[in-house]
Amino acid sequence: MSALFTPIKVGPFTMQHRIVMAPLSRLRSDVGGMPTDLAVEYYSQRASEGGLLVTEGVYMAEGGNGYLGVPGISDDGQIAGWKKITAAVHAKGGLIFAQLWHVGRVSHSDHQPDGGAPVAPSAVPYEGVAFTKDGWIPSTPARALETGEIEALIVAYRKATERAVAAGFDGVEVHSANGYLLDQFLQDGSNKRSDAYGGSLENRSRFLLEAVEAAASVIGMDRVGVRISPSGEFGGMADSDPQALFTHVAQQLDKLNLAYLHLIEPRVFGNETNESKDQKIPVAAQLIRKHYKGLIIAAGGFTPESAAQIIEAGDADLVAFGRHFISNPDLPARIRAKAQLAAYNRDTFYGGQEAGYTDYPFLGANAKAA
């Protein structure tokens, strides 16, 4: 496991190991998108000396949420809750980036201002679900954004980054993966526009690049990460030529001196591992590494062994763990000790209170009763 435990610079920061906590929706926030004191404990448990945590997706604009219980950073009133979390992580010597998220069409009128329709690049039918007070129900049909509304959302990315700085975050990650708004603009299965944000690869990439520039105008490009999911199908995504699309995206992002580029391997669908793809090589990282020379974080179904292998191969520089970090709050210590990893309980991933959230045990003397 030695490849996982060598220091590395991430933007202006030095990490002491290569193990990252992936962004993980847990749906446990209070009304109004306020993170709770329980979330303070959750993130503090998973902070390690010199390690990086990426928050769960945080909606960055009004109407950007699609799931009851998701925290926000769309309003100044949410800053206080995040300050407690960043302070707790920093007290452990950890780093924490806020993942800025807009779900686009993956939403419901219950989550929209005045009960309106969710927004998307185009009014393409989507058969997915949103999570509301009535549980998991079909998403409300989306409407196409006007060009001026896109410009307003770019401003919202800047303002959300300002709030992240005020809350003490070390950086932000722009979420452009998993079938959410920025990914919907990238892929031509969901983007049928004919304006400056549709059609060519350059146009479909424009919103993502302008959102990144907006965030960087506040915090600096070396404290901005981007997450993409090349060839990912989650969220009803499809593109006529994904290799050309994500090659173009990687080439454009390579020019920016980002903190990192975060890649989701297509062998994971939602929170389920696709067994037919599980044994295949990490195709996203191999493709993107040819076109992106900065730091790459790989995510998606990795074990400690396969994480070390991809770093040794040079296709990624760090590896993000999701499900294993849920059930192993001290995951870096467990991997270093070559200890057995605790099993996760999928039934407690979303919603609830302490169970499956803050009650997983630690190793040895730090053990906490489950």
Residue 306 neighbours by CB distance under 10 Å: 14
Q: CATH assignment of 2-366? A: 3.20.20.70
Per-residue pLDDT band for 368 (boundaries 50, 70, 90) equals: very low
pLDDT at 364: 76
Report residue 284: phi and psi, to 5°: -65, -50
User: Which pLDDT score, from 0 to 100, does residue 257 have?
Assistant: 96
Question: How far is residue 282's CA from residue 263's CA, in Å, rounded to a whole number?
Answer: 10
Contact, 69 vs 352, CB < 8 A? no
Catalytic residues, which ones?
A: 180
Confidence of residue 301 (pLDDT cuts 50, 70, 90): confident
Q: What pLDDT, on the 0 to 100 scale, is given for residue 283? A: 65
Is residue 276's pLDDT more than 70? no
Mean pLDDT of 301-308: 93
Tell me, what's the pLDDT at 365? 44
Average pLDDT in the chain: 92
CA angle 352, 52, 171 (to 5 degrees): 95
Instruction: Identify the H or E element spanning 316.
Output: none
CA 357/CA 48 separation, integer angstroms: 17
Read off the pLDDT of residues 9-41 as tens digits, 9 standing for 90 and up: 999 999 999 999 999 999 999 988 999 999 999
pLDDT of residue 247: 94
pLDDT at 282: 56
* pLDDT at residue number 267: 59
Report, as an integer, the average pLDDT of 45-59: 96
pLDDT of residue 22: 97
pTM of the model: 0.93
| Per-residue confidence band for 272, with pLDDT thresholds at 50, 70 and 90 | very low
pLDDT in tens, 113-157: 999 999 999 999 999 999 999 999 999 999 999 999 999 999 999
Q: Which stretch of 58-62, 212-216, 222-226, 228-232 has the lowest confidence by average pLDDT? A: 228-232
248: its two tokens: 């173009």
Q: How far apart are CA 322 and CA 166, in angstroms?
A: 27
Q: How many CB atoms lie within 10 A of CB 16?
A: 16
- CA of 283: how far to CAs of 59, 239, 277, in Å? 29, 17, 10
CB 34 within 8 A of CB 163: no
